[in-house]
Amino acid sequence: MTFGEQPGAMLEELRAAFPKATLYNDESRLYAWFERVRDFVLLPREALDLPVDIQGTAFQSRVWKALRQIPLGDTASYGAVAKRLGEPSATRAVASACAKNQIAILIPCHRVIAADGRLAGYRWGTERKRQLLEREAAEDRV
């Protein structure tokens, strides 16, 4: 899962990330998942619970799991996530794990903000992060 402007560029990014993989179009099997993701982006109502397979360190995996537990419409600071993990001094490590997340929306690193409430960093741009948070907050109020 990623965001991008050009499908060809996104495919090249995928090939670069997985140079030994054989890529093939499995649209019929994945169609329902694509529909759920599209619907979520347009009108987020509930957290997406689709299977993910992402490689990372043990700490990154713990961070990514914690991010999936931040409720739709809520945010948490990098420091708050670190505290939830029992690692209160690991704020920068949490931010690093967020930066290494390659799965947009399903691992909702867009819900992690700076301690002062700013929208700090986002792999796909802070404007997209703002838009995602606004949509989620609007749906949360409905």
Q: What is the pTM of this model?
A: 0.70
Q: CB neighbours of 110 closer than 8 A, spacing ≥ 6? A: 104, 122, 128, 129, 132, 133
User: Range with the lowest mean pLDDT among 23-32, 52-61, 122-131?
Assistant: 23-32
- Per the structure, how many domains does the chain have? 1
30: pLDDT confidence band, cut at 50, 70 and 90? confident
What domain range is 45 assigned to? 1-142
18: pLDDT confidence band, cut at 50, 70 and 90? confident
Which ranges of 5-125 does DSSP label H, i.e. alpha helix?
Answer: 7-17, 27-42, 58-67, 78-84, 91-100
Among all residues, which ones are annotated catalytic? 109
Residue 79's CATH number:
1.10.10.10
Give Cα separations from 35 to 17, 42, 52 (angstroms).
24, 11, 16
pLDDT digits (tens, 9 = 90+) for 57-99: 999 999 999 998 998 889 999 999 999 999 999 999 999 999 9
Q: Which residue has the tokens 């995996």?
A: 61
